[in-house]
């Protein structure tokens, strides 16, 4: 499930008004011997129905849109790339203001309805309330339109578990990243589109030792020089370092991936200088190459080196104060 899949649909002002008025039109008091008491009671019920239907919805919006202050840096960074954060705060605060205003207005009109002595007086009160209520909601038009756009964008952010030690597999195309992910996690990965790139993250989970870990394969994302990226792509890729994970950079020195060792070294150096997170260098496809160029060699075909890699991953987790 995407990280922010629970943001409710953002209704248009008229839809909110219709929703509230429809509910209030169904209010009808049972038989009252005193006609004016019946009308008074109905008017008060209608006002509080409109108030509760609308404010419950508006507060739901406020609560379900992520609060920027309590977000993990990765999510805040991503959202910041997609939407104007100042406008985001302002629009949510307008929604809050409208909700408070409706409560205030309803209280006022309920109070005066309690004193209403004639049907005309009571109906006038109700009409005034409806009118003011509708104009408060209509004033939210721009904010609701903006929030609807935010919702559509925020929903694209991949769901990554922030409380798990995370390993990010990088390396040029064809070096064996996906093979390593499936060797380590066994199960089929969760595929999450990565904003601003045409690519997806492949996310898998497993236990190493007794630790639950998250492993992310990044095809097409961490596999070429950053300078070949456009601005937004670059920024969104740099958000990955906010996951505070550990990079596993795979080198295929066998030549079978179609990239020379030097080309791979260049991308490695570039990523290393852009990403302020630890990196483990790993040589892949050890079954087809005799030469040991890295300290750690693995083969996803024969399983060679995988246990050693896991031990190193576990050491990294255990020596990191965040995961103790």
Ligand X SMILES: Nc1nc2c(ncn2[C@@H]2O[C@H](COP(=O)(O)OP(=O)(O)OP(=O)(O)O)[C@@H](O)[C@H]2O)c(=O)[nH]1
Binding mask 160-199 for ligand X (x = CB under 6 A): -----------x-xxxxxxx--------------------
| 80 closest CA partner among 244, 226, 236, 243 | 236
Binding mask 268-287 for ligand X (x = CB under 6 A): ----------------xx-x
Binding residues for Mg ion, total number by CB under 5 A: 3
Q: With respect to ligand X, which residue has the nearer C-beta, 54 or 284?
A: 284
Binding residues for ligand X, total number by CB under 6 A: 17
DSSP assigned state of 297:
B
| 122 closest CA partner among 134, 109, 105, 135 | 109
Selected binder of Mg ion within 116, 165, 219, 245 (CB under 5 A) = 219
Residues 6+ apart with CB under 8 A from 4: 66, 154, 155, 157
Residues 6+ apart with CB under 8 A from 302: 286, 287
- Among positions 86-145, residues that touch ligand X (CB under 6 A) are none
- Among positions 175-194, residues that touch Mg ion (CB under 5 A) are 177-178
Shortest Å distance, C-beta 298 to ligand X: 7
Cβ contact 269:224 at 8 Å: no
Binding mask 300-319 for ligand X (x = CB under 6 A): xx------------------
36 token code pair? 């004016």
Q: Which does 113 bind (CB under 5 to 8 A by kind): Mg ion, ligand X, none?
A: none
Q: Which residue has the tokens 């066994």?
A: 186
Binding mask 133-152 for Mg ion (x = CB under 5 A): --------------------
Q: Which does 195 bind (CB under 5 to 8 A by kind): Mg ion, ligand X, none?
A: none
Please give the Cα distance from 293 to 77 (Å, whole number).
37
Give the binding range for Mg ion (CB under 5 A) out of 57-65, 169-177, 205-213, 240-248. 169-177
Q: Could you give the 3-state DSSP secondary structure of residue 29? A: coil
Distance of CA 253 to the CA centre of its chain: 38
Residue 55 interacts with ligand X (CB under 6 A)?
Answer: no
Q: With respect to ligand X, which residue has the nearer C-beta, 214 or 257?
A: 257
∠ at Cα 4 (204, 200), nearest 5°? 40
Give the binding range for Mg ion (CB under 5 A) out of 32-40, 136-144, 174-182, 276-284. 174-182
Burial 197-230 (b: 16+ CB within 10 A, else e): bebbbbbbbbebeeeebbbbbbbebbbbebeebe
Q: Which residue has the tokens 């989970």?
A: 205
Which chain residues interact with ligand X by CB under 6 A? 171, 173-179, 219, 223, 284-285, 287-288, 299-301
Which chain residues interact with Mg ion by CB under 5 A? 177-178, 219
């Amino acid at each position: 499930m995407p990280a922010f899949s629970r943001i409710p649909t953002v209704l248009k002002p008229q839809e909110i008004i219709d929703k509230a008025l429809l509910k209030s039109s169904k209010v009808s008091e049972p038989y009252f011997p005193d006609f004016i008491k019946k009308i008074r009671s109905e008017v008060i019920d209608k006002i509080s129905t409109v108030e509760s239907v609308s404010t419950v919805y508006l507060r739901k919006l406020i609560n379900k849109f992520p609060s920027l202050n309590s977000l993990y840096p990765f999510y805040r960074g991503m959202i910041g790339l997609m939407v104007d954060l100042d406008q985001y705060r302002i629009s949510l605060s307008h929604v809050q203001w409208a909700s408070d205003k409706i409560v205030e207005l309803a209280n006022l009109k309920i109070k005066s309805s309690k004193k209403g002595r004639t049907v005309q007086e009571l109906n006038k009160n109700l009409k005034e309330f409806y009118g003011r209520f509708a104009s408060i909601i209509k004033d939210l038009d721009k904010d609701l339109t903006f929030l609807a756009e935010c919702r559509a964008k925020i929903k694209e952010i991949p769901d990554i578990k922030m409380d798990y030690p995370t390993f990010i597999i990088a390396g040029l195309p064809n070096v064996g990243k996906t093979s390593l992910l499936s060797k380590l996690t066994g199960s089929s990965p969760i595929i999450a589109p990565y904003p601003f790139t045409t690519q997806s993250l492949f996310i898998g989970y497993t236990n190493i030792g007794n630790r639950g870990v998250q492993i992310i394969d990044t095809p097409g994302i961490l596999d070429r020089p950053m300078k070949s990226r456009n601005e937004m792509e670059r920024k969104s890729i740099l958000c990955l370092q906010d996951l505070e994970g550990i990079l596993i950079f795979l080198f295929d020195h066998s030549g079978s991936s179609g990239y020379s060792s030097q080309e791979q070294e260049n991308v490695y150096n570039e990523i290393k200088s852009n990403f302020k997170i630890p990196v483990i260098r790993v040589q892949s496809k050890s079954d087809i190459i005799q030469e040991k160029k890295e300290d750690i060699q693995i083969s996803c075909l024969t399983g060679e080196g995988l246990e050693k890699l896991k031990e190193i991953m576990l050491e990294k987790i255990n020596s990191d104060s965040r995961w103790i």
